[in-house]
Chain A
Amino acid sequence: MANELSTLLRTLRQAAYLLVGLPDYDAYVAHMRRAHPQRPVMSRAEFFRNRQAARYGEGNGRCC
């Protein structure tokens, strides 16, 4: 029960972050560990800045 609740909260937080275009940091870290263990992993702050710059960068239109 407590487990399900924490999964739910986690999903809600991911949803809120992705509403404003921020992907999940933990998923990024997990992906890097699994797929590219030799490459450096961005810190949370670096990741945040990188994603912010990407969202408003080239060619990202928004709707009316």
Chain B
Amino acid sequence: MTSLVQHVFWLLLALLGAFALGSVALAQGETVNALWIVIAAVSIYLVAYRYYALFIAARAMQLNPLRPTPAVRRNDGLDYVPTNRYVLFGHHFAAIAGAGPLVGPVLAAQMGYLPGMLWIIVGVVLAGAVQDFMVLFVSTRRDGRSLGELVREEMGYWPGVIALFGAFLIMVIILAVLALIVVKALAESPWGTFTVVATIPIAIAMGLWMRFVQPGRIGLVSVAGFVLLLLAIVFGEDVAASPRWGPLFTLDGVQLTWLLVGYGFVASVLPVWLLLAPRDYLSTFLKIGAIVALALGILILAPDLRMPALTRFTDGSGPVWAGALFPFLFITIACGAVSGFHALISSGTTPKLLDNEKNMPLIGYGGMLMESFVAIMALVAACIIDPGVYFAMNSPAALIGTTAESAAAAVSQWGFVVTPELLTQTAKEVGEATIISRAGGAPTLAVGMAHIFSALSGGGTAMMAFWYHFAILFEALFILTAVDAGTRAGRFMLQDLLGTFVPALKHTGSWTANVLATALCVGAWGYFLYQGVVDPLGGINTFWPLFGISNQMLAAVALMLATVVLFKLKRERYAWVTLLPTAWLLVCTLTAGWQKLFHADPRVGFLTHAAKFQAAIERNEVLAPAKSIAEMRRIVFNDYVDAVLTALFIAVVVSMLVFSVRACLRALRHDRPTARETPFEPADRISTGSVGRGV
């Protein structure tokens, strides 16, 4: 009887979610309150968790609370530590949530709020959360091994090498795109640049303090660092206005690119305690704090959405990024709906901290639901600002010009009426010289967050500029941390890969090998960053889809691994759980990859674009934005590089598909499970810690 009552509660919750979704989807021509989106998302998340996640746990995974986890079996107080589930939830969430779920939905808003919202909600329930959860399961049952090792063990040596190679390429593209977002946000913005530069000495001071004065205590020093950050934002206004210092911090995109590349190299060879770790602490606490504040802000203010449910750009003619709704929407919103990168986290530290298998759904599935909620909030923040302002901020200068007048005229012509005065006034409110063509998502999100926070703090528009730069700083801070940490991780991956061919390069203790691998890694993402910055369409236009394709392909690889494991466990009757999202991701990424290569529209297809410029070179004609034939040649060359990269992604994912199908067929021929799980050891045979090998 009580269970019936419980089901009735969940049924009511499901109905509430359906009703909210209906009100959002069917509201024609009337404004919709953002709360409906939040209610729809949260109720669907809860119902999905209660039924789908627990179904997967009970049937496909057959989780066993009596089976000791790696944290229990190998407890060493360091890497393997049984951890309270809520504490671990926080750790896992902080590791998976980055710039991705904040930027993708903002860019996707060009098609209206509805497509993005539906994909975020449906995607996370059926694909993203399933992936994180399954990888956590597979890794936990194998002593917390990493994705690369898992692929190698369950599928073979070469699939392992190919997966590692794919992961490295993805890392390069992610770093380039993240750095590009920072460049776009800071270009010609002395206030923003000053505050971001100021984080370096602040972090170093914190690092020195934590190293030598109070080792192991991070609370007070983080609070002090945070206060200094706020002071940097406050004084940034005066620095920007100062005739002496203002010009010093007013940098264009190319200058910022060189600074970032130099920074990436230096920062990733410095000892971690000096800059990386302390800034990581600041950025993590700031990130969690800002996300909580944004959630509270949306709940309290309950703003109306001003973006229409659907815009005319669903046909692929959009200015923010090129390509039609299918497949490019599902590429643009990667993190937040499904993100392959999470497979690296779910097979990283998290499985080594899990205290009991029964907590796996909360961490694996629940953690990703939380990230999806962040994506929903980013979508809301982008859709509550004036659509005219949104398009002026996110369209490239090649389409809307560089003045408020030309931008307002172009955007109004698309049907989003906006006046030049509104554009200049918005720029003034947020303390910037201009807000036109600031693609990349971060500035748009910052305007949205500034609206919410300044309304909350009651300062009216007086506080807008402060909150805008706070939001920019918050994003730049954790992007820079990701660039720094990513360059290190990329360097290790590269050394591992190159070591397959030249064993000497594998020695991470060798200074030459390290510097060489770091330089290669920085050079690789720096090349794409530079290309993005000088791109007349703003770079984001080209690279965000490439990032999305690669990230979703990694997700497909992780889900294929999970499918292989289900087959090897002889549980193929539940394999649809992973096959469904795998199939969808393969359809989307392969279609998108194919279109990026061969689409007839030069805005979408790399090869068509190259052919167009090549033809012009042969006619000795210079096409805008190039100013000389030499620049035209460079554009053609870059197109070919992008095309080769896309082709490599496709090759990686197709070969992984072949290996997976073979592994599944082989598993089917066996009449007993062939998965290589760590054998079950009853808890009473583990005398706390002594079983742990090589502590």
**A residues apposed to B, CB below 8 Å:** 11, 13-25, 27-32, 34-36, 44-45, 47-56, 58-64
Contacts and interface: CB of A to CB of B under 8 A. Distances in A.
24 contacts: A14-B84, A15-B90, A15-B91, A19-B94, A19-B285, A20-B94, A20-B280, A20-B281, A20-B285, A23-B353, A24-B81, A31-B75, A35-B75, A45-B216, A48-B216, A61-B167, A61-B489, A62-B95, A62-B485, A63-B95, A63-B342, A64-B178, A64-B335, A64-B339
Interface of B: 75-79, 81, 83-84, 86-88, 90-91, 94-100, 146, 167, 171, 174, 177-178, 210-211, 215-216, 218-219, 272-273, 276-277, 280-281, 284-285, 288, 334-335, 339, 341-342, 344-345, 348-349, 353, 481-482, 485-486, 488-489, 492-493, 508, 547, 551, 688-690, 695
Contacts of B492: 58-59
Given A63-B341, A64-B551, A23 B216 contact: no
Contacts of B90: 15, 18-19
> What are the 5 A-B residue pairs with the smallest beta carbon separation, nearest first?
A35-B689, A45-B215, A28-B77, A48-B216, A64-B100
A61 B87 contact: no
B486 A61 contact: yes
Contacts of B96: 63
Given A20-B284, A36-B689, A49-B273, A63 B86 contact: no
Contacts of B146: 59
Contact of B86 (A11, A52, A58, A64): A11
Most chain B beta carbons < 10 A, residue from A14, A15, A22, A64: A64
A41 B281 CA distance: 26
B326 to A, nearest CB: 23
A11 B273 CA distance: 25
A17 B86 CA distance: 13
Contact of B77 (A11, A27, A49): A27
B288 A19 contact: yes
Contacts of A55: 272, 277
Contacts of B99: 64
Given A24-B81, A63-B98, A64-B178, 14 more contacts: A13-B219, A18-B88, A31-B688, A35-B689, A45-B216, A47-B216, A49-B273, A56-B276, A61-B171, A61-B344, A62-B481, A63-B100, A64-B341, A64-B551
A26 B551 CA distance: 39
A60 B489 contact: yes
Contacts of A23: 77-78, 81, 83, 353
B482 A62 contact: yes
A40 to B, nearest CB: 12
B272 A52 contact: yes
B285 A16 contact: yes
A28 B78 contact: yes
A3 B341 CA distance: 41
A27 B218 contact: no
Contact of B87 (A15, A20, A32, A60): A15
A22 B285 CA distance: 13
B218 A63 contact: no
A15 B77 CA distance: 16
Given A35-B690, A51-B78, A60 B88 contact: no
A22 B94 CA distance: 13
A47 B178 CA distance: 32
Given A51-B78, A52-B272, A64-B339, A18 B83 contact: yes
Contacts of A61: 167, 171, 341, 344-345, 348, 485-486, 489
A34 B78 contact: no
Contacts of B348: 59-61
B277 A62 contact: no
Nearest to A64: B100
B335 A44 contact: no
Nearest to B695: A36
Nearest to B479: A64
A21 B174 CA distance: 22
Nearest to B287: A19
A15 B78 contact: no
A47 B87 CA distance: 20
A56 B335 contact: no
Given A25-B216, A63-B341, A64-B174, A11 B489 contact: no
A9 B547 CA distance: 41
A63 B689 contact: no
A29 B486 CA distance: 32
Contacts of B95: 62-63
A62 B98 contact: yes
A45 B212 CA distance: 9
A44 B215 contact: yes
Given A17-B218, A31-B75, A63 B339 contact: yes
Contacts of B481: 62
A55 B341 CA distance: 17
B219 A21 contact: no
A56 B339 contact: no
Nearest to A51: B78
Nearest to B91: A18
A57 B618 CA distance: 51
B100 A21 contact: no
Contacts of B335: 63-64
A62 B486 contact: yes
A1 to B, nearest CB: 21
B79 A54 contact: yes
Contact of A27 (B81, B215, B508): B81
Contact of A31 (B288, B485, B689): B689
Most chain A beta carbons < 10 A, residue from B171, B216, B277: B216
